[in-house]
């Protein structure tokens, strides 16, 4: 059975109909096959694919693999609304803006957002842990990767929202989150994203919203390492704790804006 699953992983990875994001998750599972217990690897893969499976937006072969091999259920048909042709290509946006616990919920309810994962990026360490990132080892920052459908939600809108929920004038952290691993960074995947990010940054700099310089970095995206399971969808798992953290963050954001307006 395990050999059959591994063969199916290989076939799905090589299948031209598999979307790039799905292929990345399958490759990650395959690469870890000899390093972890197979049950743990398959459980993590099931957890990662679950949001798309529940929305009926996995490609057909991955959909079948999810339910028959990861869930152990009978083969299911995708009877939700049919996928549009343009939905075969999703895009990614990677943002760092302080603790990733607070960077999921602001984006998660927008139509067109397919999935959001918390993780680490921008550093040199391979597969860093939360403790390593917190200590500064490897130079990673906490970030979120947003998988979105560009036919429903534009990258520009995501960048606008990002600037709304962060402090682009603070290079040494975000609100109550201090340290280089909390610095604000937009990681761009291509020249189009880079151009949009720079335009929105310039627009913000030329507005009257802030008096201090806009210091948010715009850097090329690199490897993104998903954080441990406990950090995924934190606002859903720990709603009371999240509300307290969000309240403090919002209060500091309002105070920072008020303080800068006083300088005018």
User: Annotated catalytic sites, by residue?
Assistant: 99
CA distance 100 to 242: 11
Nearest residue to 94 via CA among 118, 126, 112: 118
Rounded distance between C-alpha atoms, residue 58 and residue 102, angstroms: 27
58, with CB counted inside 10 A (0-12, 13-18, 19+), is buried
Strand order in the sheet with 91-96: 217-220, 185-188, 91-96, 141-148, 113-121, 224-226
Tally Cβ neighbours within 10 Å of residue 112.
19
Lookup result for tokens 């800068």: 260
């Amino acid at each position: 059975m395990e050999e059959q699953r591994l063969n199916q992983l290989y076939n799905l990875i090589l299948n031209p109909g598999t979307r790039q994001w799905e292929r990345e998750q399958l490759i990650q599972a395959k690469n870890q096959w000899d390093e972890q217990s197979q049950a743990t690897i398959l459980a993590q893969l099931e957890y990662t694919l679950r949001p798309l499976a529940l929305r009926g937006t996995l490609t057909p072969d991955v959909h079948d693999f999810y339910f028959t091999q990861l869930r152990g259920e009978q083969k299911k048909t995708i009877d939700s609304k049919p996928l549009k042709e343009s939905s075969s290509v999703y895009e990614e946006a990677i943002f760092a803006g302080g603790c990733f616990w607070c960077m999921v919920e602001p984006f998660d309810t927008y139509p067109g957002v397919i999935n959001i994962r918390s993780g680490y990026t921008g550093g040199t360490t391979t597969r860093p842990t939360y403790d390593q990132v917190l200590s500064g080892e490897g130079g990673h920052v906490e970030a979120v990767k947003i998988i979105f459908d560009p036919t429903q939600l534009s990258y520009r809108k995501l960048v606008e929202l990002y600037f709304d929920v962060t402090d682009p004038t603070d290079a040494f952290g975000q609100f109550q989150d201090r340290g280089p691993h909390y610095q604000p960074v937009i990681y761009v995947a291509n020249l189009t994203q880079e151009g949009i990010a720079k335009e929105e940054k310039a627009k913000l700099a030329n507005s009257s919203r802030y008096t201090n310089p806009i210091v948010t970095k715009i850097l090329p995206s690199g490897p993104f390492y998903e954080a441990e399971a406990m950090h995924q969808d934190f606002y859903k798992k720990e709603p009371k704790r999240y509300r307290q953290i969000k309240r403090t963050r919002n209060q500091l954001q309002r105070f920072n804006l008020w303080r800068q307006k006083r300088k005018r």
